[in-house]
């Protein structure tokens, strides 16, 4: 048994460097989805793509086809419906920017792989400029650019196909997320401030500390990169963390006899004895016996 335990310890120590390497450079430092959320995402993507495919199939124009990049959009729409990448304008604007960039790049006199890279770079610039960042747009750009130049009429028809696919996906995301998964979609702006987050009349931590929209906006911009979280979610996470930290700190600091009672400073010992029906501590009570008489 001792030898077996030593072997397990040696094996664990051998994998420690690999584990550290994975955590430092390969795996994102984010909490995983709960089992329930994983199943919801799975069912949402399945039903959403099925519904979107039916909508595209029933489109009046028989030339409409289901585009492969919509599969990448489904992962964002049904696993991350709260993300800025999944909001309606991000999906529609990102796909339109991809279509226009790819068609213009394909129309260049010299059609080379460099033109496709230029098209993807132009798509990214347009997405950032018009606040419609949607990663599957990069795949859509490559798909359209590889097919080559098109006459103006066919280019317009292609844009119509893209728009039809986007509306089908957005309608499926709105239906499945809101009515089946019970996830609010879209989530473009917070409808209310979480002032009553902890069930009391106290102000939220951000309001007690004086944080404002400009403070959060400045902090996000100071990061220097795209932050895949919306402002009201950032405030909600901050409020939850501060409230939990406050509760934990107070539960550790409270005396054992007040566990389960409302938070607040412990009453004086003399008041405790009087409330229990006993007599308060005598004025001449020796310090060595004061704790036993007044708190015991």
Same domain, 83 and 165: yes
Same domain, 166 and 110: yes
Round to whole Å and give the CA distance between 69 and 106.
19
Which of residues 34 and 175 earns the better pLDDT score?
A: 175
For residue 237, give the H/E element and its range. Answer: helix 231-253
**Ramachandran angles phi, psi of 191, nearest 5°:** -90, -20
Is the pLDDT at 141 greater than 80, yes or no?
Answer: yes
pLDDT tens-digit series, residues 99-114: 999 999 998 887 778 8
Question: Dihedral of CA 153/158/160/161: which sign?
Answer: positive
Is the pLDDT at 86 greater than 70, yes or no?
Answer: yes
Same domain, 81 and 168: yes
Same domain, 224 and 100: no
Which of residues 230 and 274 earns the better pLDDT score?
A: 230
State the DSSP code for 177. I
Residue that terminates a domain, selected from 146, 180, 214: 180
Task: Provide the domain limits for residue 210.
Answer: 205-253
pLDDT at position 39: 94
245 in a structural domain: yes
Same domain, 48 and 169: yes
Q: Which of 82, 80, 79, 81 is nearest to 43 (CA)?
A: 79
197 in a structural domain: no
Residue that terminates a domain, selected from 122, 146, 180: 180
Same domain, 127 and 230: no
14 in a structural domain: no
97 in a structural domain: yes
Same domain, 124 and 71: yes
Question: Dihedral of CA 285/288/292/294: which sign?
Answer: positive
Token pair 């009553």 in the structure block, residue: 196
Same domain, 235 and 108: no
Mean of pLDDT over the chain? 79
Residue ranges of E strands in the chain = none
Same domain, 243 and 121: no
Q: What is the DSSP string of 74-125?
A: HHHHHH-TTSGGGSHHHHHHHHHHHHHHHHHHHTSSS--HHHHHHHHHHHHH
State how far the alpha carbon of 233 is from the alpha carbons of 39, 61, 95, 188, 191, in Å.
22, 41, 26, 11, 12
pLDDT at position 21: 84
Same domain, 83 and 211: no
271 in a structural domain: no
Map residue 8 onto helix, strand or coil. Answer: helix
Same domain, 209 and 159: no
265 in a structural domain: no
Which of residues 124 and 204 earns the better pLDDT score?
A: 124
Q: Stretch 3-25: mean pLDDT, rounded?
A: 75
pLDDT tens-digit series, residues 216-265: 777 767 776 667 677 667 777 777 887 888 888 888 765 554 445 554 55
200 in a structural domain: no
pLDDT tens-digit series, residues 57-80: 888 766 688 999 999 999 999 999
Round to whole Å and give the CA distance between 130 and 123.
11
267 in a structural domain: no
Round to whole Å and give the CA distance between 232 and 152.
43
**Would you say how long the chain is, in residues?**
296
Is the pLDDT at 140 greater than 90, yes or no?
Answer: yes
Round to whole Å and give the CA distance between 124 and 132.
9
Same domain, 231 and 135: no
Which of residues 116 and 206 earns the better pLDDT score?
A: 116
Round to whole Å and give the CA distance between 11 and 21.
16
pTM of the predicted model over 0.95 = no
Is the pLDDT at 269 greater than 50, yes or no?
Answer: no
How many structural domains does the chain have? 2
Residue 75 and residue 179 in contact, taking contact as beta carbons nearer than 8 Å: no
Is the pLDDT at 169 greater than 50, yes or no?
Answer: yes
pLDDT at position 60: 78
């Amino acid at each position: 048994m001792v030898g077996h335990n030593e072997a397990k310890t040696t094996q664990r120590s051998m994998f420690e460097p690999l584990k550290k390497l994975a955590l430092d450079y390969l795996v994102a430092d984010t909490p995983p989805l709960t089992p329930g959320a994983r199943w919801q995402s799975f069912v949402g993507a399945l039903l959403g793509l099925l519904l979107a495919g039916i909508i595209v199939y029933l489109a009046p124009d028989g030339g409409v086809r289901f585009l492969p990049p919509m599969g990448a959009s489904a992962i964002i729409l049904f696993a991350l419906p709260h993300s800025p990448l999944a909001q309606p304008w991000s999906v529609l604007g990102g796909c339109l920017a991809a279509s226009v960039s790819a068609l213009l790049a394909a129309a260049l006199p010299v059609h080379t792989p460099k033109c496709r890279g230029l098209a993807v770079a132009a798509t990214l610039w347009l997405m950032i400029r018009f606040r419609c960042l949607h990663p599957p747009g990069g795949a859509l750009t490559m798909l359209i650019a590889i097919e080559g130049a098109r006459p103006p009429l066919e280019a317009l028809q292609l844009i119509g196909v893209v728009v039809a696919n986007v509306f089908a996906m957005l309608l499926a995301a709105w239906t499945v997320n809101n009515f089946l998964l019970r996830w609010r979609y879209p989530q473009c702006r917070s409808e209310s401030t979480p002032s009553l987050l902890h069930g009391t009349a106290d102000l939220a931590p951000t309001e007690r500390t004086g944080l404002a929209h400009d403070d959060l906006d400045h902090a996000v911009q100071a990061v220097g990169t795209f932050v895949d979280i919306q402002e009201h979610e950032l405030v909600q996470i901050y409020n939850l963390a501060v409230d939990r930290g406050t509760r934990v700190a107070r539960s550790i600091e409270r005396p054992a006899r007040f566990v389960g009672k409302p938070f607040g400073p412990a009453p004086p010992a003399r008041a405790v004895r009087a409330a229990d029906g006993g007599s308060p501590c005598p004025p001449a009570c020796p310090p060595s016996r004061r704790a036993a008489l007044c708190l015991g």
